[in-house]
Amino acid sequence: MKNSYNVKSKLALLVVIFFTYFGFSQGNDQEQIKKLYDAALTQGKGYDWLNYLSNQIGGRLSGSIQAQQAVNYTKSQLDSLGLDKVWLQPVMVPKWVRGTPEFAYFETTPGVTTNMAICALGGSVATPPKGIKANIIEVDGIEELATLGKDKIQGKIVFFNKPMDPTQINTFNAYSNCVDQRYSGALEASKYGALGVIVRSMNLRLDDFPHTGSMGYGEQSVDDRIPAAAISTNAADLLSTSLKLNPEINFYFKQNCKQFEDVESYNVIGEIRGSSKPEEIILVGGHLDSWDLGDGSHDDGAGCVQSMEVLNLFKKTGYTPKRTIRVVLFMNEENGLRGGTKYAEVAEASNEKHIFALESDSGGFTPRGFTFDSSDKDFDKIKSWKPLFEPYLVHYFEKGGSGADIGPLKKDGLVLAGLRPDSQRYFDYHHAENDTFEHVNKRELELGSASMASLIYLVDTYGF
């Protein structure tokens, strides 16, 4: 009995030492986190905010009227929360306009054509006014261009048809492994004399929605730039099959997009000032701009309203943070990252001390966990909080990337993090016409907000 008592005593002491070392009181934290989840699921405002952004404003391409309307709306909503400070941070952003709807077809024999679902890639130049019609050649990624050489590519349209890898459980890995053909395909194909490029949409599902996204020409002169567009996955499969039957197929596409001079826009910022350590800033955010084809509900309206909701949940539960909690809705993540870059520049010039930044930019789906860009020591502390999330089925705590907009803040001692929802459906909607409000589940969105608020609560309470 004595030995058993001693073992139990030692175990109890170890538990006390563990929680003392990692710096948290499980009972109090469980209670506060439950309050945050309960408030999100019963009193949350995020779904209504997203409804307005999506259905009353719509797609919010940087430099557009809709982007400015979103700035005005989200600022007014942050003002209504009774925060300590709300302001707009000016930033110059690119203004690219799609113009009239694009049109494309392939021609198997003269006069026999099949229309294709197509959209211009963001930042692309226009085709000539009458469009481009030429023989088309299929490649499985940028690397194949060098194998084919200029003799086989010059004067043709290049069709990049490298698909996302369906065996990747993390669909963002599948995206990363083939998105180079979308971003750099036109620049690389032009070096071999191509007239234009068509890219298979970054989408794991077979459907008829073409997915846009940013592309770039680097330092290439305007005269050497060739137009680039995406076709749907169904269209890509049909075109690929048809080319195998008839390699002499001609492809036609027309688009009249245009790049204008930069215009002024804004990051939208609000904060609750810390009660005892106001100089230490904890940031939560998403990007307010979106592509123009849908209404940007998942990418990234969801991340914006979840970030706003974090501050609302603290207000609802009566939690007074020690540190300053700041929400930032960044402008121009999709085609320039100007908002994230500007915010980091101003923070550096103002000698602001950020200790933690969390971004939500992976859709409004069921939260699974977070990834962290941090030191091993800080990550060990973060992992000690994992049991507090497991009752909410949030279990994925791994080192990895964080978010594009908070990336420019990176420096030693700053922990960056990204919310990681279930990713299986994300690329069904990413940058496409069907990224709309009806595809966001209210409960999933709210659970994400609560998970973010809970993590920020723990960081605020215990720091690093």
Confidence of residue 52 (pLDDT cuts 50, 70, 90): very high
The 3-state DSSP class for residue 162 equals coil
Q: How do residues 278-334 score in pLDDT, each as one tens digit?
A: 999 999 999 999 999 999 999 999 999 999 999 999 999 999 999 999 999 999 999
- Where does residue 87 fall: left (phi above 0), alpha (psi -120 to 50 degrees), or beta otherwise? beta
pLDDT in tens, 438-457: 999 999 999 999 999 999 99
Q: Is the pLDDT of residue 53 over 90?
A: yes
Number of alpha carbons in the 13 Å side-chain half-sphere of residue 269: 21
State residue 2's pLDDT score.
Answer: 44
Give residue 271's pLDDT band: very low, low, confident or very high (50, 70, 90): very high
Question: Which residues, 6+ apart, have CB-to-CB distance to 131 below 8 Å?
Answer: 103, 252, 253, 254
Of 368, 462, 447, whose CA–CA distance to 415 is shortest? 462
6 pLDDT exceeds 80?
Answer: no
- Of all residues in the chain, what percent are helix, strand and coil, respectively (each to 5)? 40, 25, 35
Q: How confident is the model at residue 242 (pLDDT cuts 50, 70, 90)?
A: very high
Active-site amino acid positions: 333
Q: Is the confidence at residue 1, as pLDDT, over 60?
A: no
Name the least confident of 8-22, 267-281, 440-454. 8-22
What's the pTM value of the predicted model, to 2 decimals?
0.92
Report pLDDT digits (tens) over 64-80: 999 999 999 999 999 99
Mean pLDDT of 179-188: 98
Cis peptide before 289 (omega within 30 of 0): no
Rounded CA gap, 449 and 317, in Å? 14
**Confidence check: pLDDT of 20 > 50:** no
Is a pLDDT exceeding 50 seen at residue 22?
no
pLDDT at position 26:
73
Strand ranges of the sheet holding 415-421, from the earlier edge strand across to the other edge: 85-97, 258-272, 323-330, 277-287, 353-359, 415-421, 367-373, 396-399
**What is the band of 27 on the pLDDT scale with cuts at 50, 70, 90?**
confident
State which H helix or E strand residue 352 sits in: none
Tens digit of each residue's pLDDT (9 = 90 or more) over 364-378: 999 999 999 999 999
Contact 323, 355 (CB under 8 A): yes
Average pLDDT value for the chain: 95
Is the CB of residue 253 less than 8 Å from the CB of residue 128?
Answer: no
pLDDT category of residue 16 using cuts at 50, 70 and 90:
very low
Buried b (16+ CB within 10 A) or exposed e, 107-124: beeeeeeeebbbbbbbbb
pLDDT at 182 over 60: yes
Provide the terminal-to-terminal Cα distance of the chain, rounded to the nearest Å: 42
Category of 117 on φ-ψ map: left (φ > 0), alpha (ψ -120 to 50) or beta: beta
